[in-house]
Amino acid sequence: MTAAGQLPGMFGGLELLPPDPILGVSAAFRADPDPGKVDLGVGVYRDEAGNTPVPAAVREAERALLAGQSSKTYVGPAGNPEFNERIVAMALGPLAAGLRERTATIQTVGGCGALRIGAELVRVAAPGAVIHVSDPTWANHEPLVGSSGLSLQRYPYYDSATRGVAFERMLDRLEQLPGGDVVLLHVCCHNPTGADLDRSQWATVAEVLARRGLVPFLDLAYQGFADDLEADVAGLRLVAERVPTLLLAISCSKNFGLYRERAGALAIVAPTAATARALATHQARTARRMYSMPPDHGAAVAARVLGDPGLREAWQAELAVMVARMKAMRALLAGRLAARRPERDFGWLARHRGMFSLLGLDAAAIARLREVEHVYLPPDGRINVAGVSEENVERVADCIVSVLDPR
Ligand code: LMR
């Protein structure tokens, strides 16, 4: 009985869960009253002032949409067809037209929705398939994909000694996997390591996937955040040229700044047009059973930006500013750390791509950063370089150096 004299009820046996490894950091940061606190946690872009702006091109598309919108009737489980077509074309480039008949695309609730529906469809089609994720991988990959009920395993990916990709070990594992298993790959800006495959490594991976009949599940959450919209998907396109079947999970959160609008897509390329048509019906049914249909706004905005040459150009210019800032903050922080600890190499921080790198700190160091210095990182010691600014870089460097192992 509770204090109020009520029985605990149906949910009374549920225990309090620990905070989410990433979102829990944001909550703890918000609750910290310290004026000098620094958020290097959740993966959102920040400008020099610490804001996560809505790109001007996105705002303009929103204004035009609102002015022209005459109905809010349902969009349907597959979402906005123009968005689906344009977002896949942005990812696959010149390959998109040739693959069109063999591609089934559904608009999803962000990139997470795409990962979840993709895993669900793998389970429906091949319940015995194992999904292999990189070691390490984004903290939500395993919960999200694993909640489909499929088995998960990890393949070697990151070498903490070189701070690069453990490519030989990765390849060895891929060579041992049974055909029909699924390999989840980060297309660019690997989360959480920042260590990406280079072009020749992608070519090798594409060859192994094709030869061994492995099915790539490509997570494209950061197109345009490493270098630019084309260079960042070169590896994806090499894979798409080689394999008969692939799943592609696309997020518009970061590059369009549409985080809370939950705009994304799942494209599945199948060996035949007939299979793609059947897949489209399964995609729609899966969405219908989970949440019925996606929200309209974010995808409509992205479709408008991509369909209007002026808006698209303006958006790409804004994206270029974001990338330049992230690269500059990487170099700045690497330089400040090297100045404090000249005997150590921090070149990896400048070399990594996108927002993330792993600092290689243990749990005690991460706790100390949070509790003593008010600097917030997720439990894996990932840093979001977009949280660094000209203003806070000295303090961030001091704090990191204070928890590095002794000289
Ligand atoms: C991150 O990795 O921090 C972002 O993708 C946000 C999230 O949902 O975890």
- Positions marked active-site: 138, 219, 221, 254
Nearest residue (CA) to ligand 1, atom 2: 43
N-terminal to C-terminal alpha carbon distance within the chain: 57
Q: What is the pLDDT of residue 365?
A: 94
Q: What is the pLDDT of residue 5?
A: 74
Distance 386 CA to ligand 1 centre (A): 13
Residue whose C-alpha is closest to residue 221's, from 198, 262, 249, 182? 249
* 140 CB near ligand 1 (under 6 Å): yes
Nearest residue (CA) to ligand 1, atom 6: 43
ω into residue 136 within 30 of 0, thus cis? yes
Nearest residue (CA) to ligand 1, atom 4: 43
Residue whose C-alpha is closest to residue 44's, from 229, 193, 254? 254
Distance 221 CA to ligand 1 centre (A): 10
Q: Which atom of ligand 1 is nearest to the CA of 41?
A: 3
Q: What is the pLDDT of residue 375?
A: 96
Name the E strands within 84-176: 103-109, 130-135, 151-156, 158-159, 164-165
Distance 43 CA to ligand 1 centre (A): 5
Tokens 């590059």, residue located: 255
* 42 CB near ligand 1 (under 6 Å): yes
The segments of the chain whose pLDDT lies below 70 read 1-4, 406-407
Name the E strands within 112-252: 130-135, 151-156, 158-159, 164-165, 182-186, 215-220, 246-251
Distance 42 CA to ligand 1 centre (A): 6
Q: Which atom of ligand 1 is nearest to the CA of 192?
A: 2
Q: pLDDT tens-digit profile of 283-341?
A: 999 999 999 999 999 999 999 999 999 999 999 999 999 999 999 999 999 999 999 99
Residue whose C-alpha is closest to residue 306's, from 256, 267, 340, 262? 256
